[in-house]
Structure 1
Amino acid sequence: MALTRDRKSDLSDPRVRRTQAALQRTLIDLVQDGDLSRISVADVAERAGVSRSTFYDHYRDVHELAEAACTTMIDDLIEAIPDPGVRDVPDTAPDTLLTFFTHLDEHAGLYRSVLGPQGSARVINHVRRHATVAAYVGARRAATGDDTPTDYTAQTPHDVPAAFTAGALIGVATDWLQHGCPRSPAEMAALTRPLLMAVYRGDDHAEA
């Protein structure tokens, strides 16, 4: 197997970004038709129209490609997680959760593989950290009106409601995926929203 190149040094090269994006899209398409564990490097390379050596220039194996595909989509999606501190917009807030669950449903095979029992700790930790930061920043925005852009690389203080919200959302989503998405994304959004909001109502009562 060829050695994986230092991808961080290549990220400024648009050809590298295009190739990685093409490989990620290809894997996402393949997962819709079959289990991730049965997809080989050869399958991805052939469908993407690149050589195996080109694949290995960017990723060590299909599992690393799956992690990259998931974290890329999660980075784009994470703003859909609702601001838990916002209580006065019930008509609009569920739409963000609906977007979240709809996205998971559309790519259920991929997320089921990486978030399940045999999944990727890297992806799970990535989702948990970003969701915690989003919940923390959202609550602060609701309380202070501060609209500073969210920095997901920043170290946030230990915040129990934010961490609980992130963990609960991941737990609910993972359970739903593992059971084959028996409820619609709309039902999941409607059921999850009041549970997340209760965390912050309880936190207010504790501080009173």
Structure 2
Amino acid sequence: MNPDDPRARRTRARLREAALTLAADADPGTLGVAAIARTAGVNRATVYAHYRDADELLTDAMEDALSQAARAAAVCPLDAPPDRAPAPIRDLFEHVAANAALYRKMLGPQGSPRFAARMRERMIEELTPRLTRDEGAPDPTEPPADLHAAYLAGALTGVIAHWTASASPTSAEEAANMAWMLMAGGIPSAD
């Protein structure tokens, strides 16, 4: 099957929409291919023609959100004051707040390990070039850029998981500010 075929793209879009609709009301770990197929109006074989399992489908459905999260983490000004989150981090937390139920489910104990891993991977991909120094030999007193990116990606994913799972979460702005304070401690100044 050609993934660029317009019919295949439409089918994948319907499957992603069905998966997100169902995931809003059920734990992603219990979301089955049969239910997704029924909601999308296709048979199970059609789902398997496009995805290995429901978890892969749901992770693909969340790819836009993952990209937004990764870009937000990567475009933050590295020298922003630690007491107020830069706009990209605030925007990220506003996005997560608007989709808190889905993030809570995807990053929670019954969620999708594939989604959490993909979220960290996307952030690492975006952050590593930003943290790579162009000048000369690497500074032995600083961690390698990919390790630093992995640290920040894991921290941000963990903060989002914890915040969305909280019984009484703070506002998106407060969560963004707290996350930034933690992240800013781990980001070298851009000098």
Give the TM-score of the pair, scaled to structure 2.
Answer: 0.75
Using the alignment, how far apart are the partners of 1:133 and 1:199 within structure 2? 17
The corresponding residue for 1:170 is 157
Using the alignment, how far apart are the partners of 1:159 and 1:84 within structure 2? 17
Q: 1:137 to 1:89 in 2, by over 3 A?
A: farther
SS at match of 1:29: helix
Q: 1:114 to 1:127 in 2, by over 3 A?
A: same
Which letter does structure 2 place at the counterpart of 1:36? P
Deviations 1:143-202 (A, max 9, x none): 76xxxxxxxxxxxx65443222111111111111222571222221121112211212xx
Where does structure 1 lack aligned partners over 5 or more consecutive residues?
1-8, 145-156
Using the alignment, how far apart are the partners of 2:119 and 2:94 within structure 1? 16
Q: Count how many residue pairs are aligned between Structure 1 and Structure 2.
A: 181
Q: Which has the higher contact order (CA 8 A, sep 6+)?
A: 2
The corresponding residue for 1:127 is 119
- In the alignment, is residue 16 of structure 1 matched against residue 3 of structure 2? no
The corresponding residue for 1:185 is 172
The within-5 A match list for 1:26-65 is 26-65=18-57
- In the alignment, is residue 67 of structure 1 matched against residue 59 of structure 2? yes
Using the alignment, how far apart are the partners of 1:76 and 1:176 within structure 2? 18
SS at match of 1:97: helix
Using the alignment, how far apart are the partners of 2:37 and 2:100 within structure 1? 22
Using the alignment, how far apart are the partners of 1:79 and 1:26 within structure 2? 26
CA RMSD of aligned residues (A): 3.1
Runs of 4+ aligned residues of structure 1 deviating over 4 Å after TM superposition are none
Query: If each structure's helix is expressed as a fraction of its own residues, which one has the higher value?
Result: 1
The corresponding residue for 2:96 is 104
Identity %: 34
Query: Per-residue deviation at 1:12?
Result: 1.9
The corresponding residue for 2:183 is 196
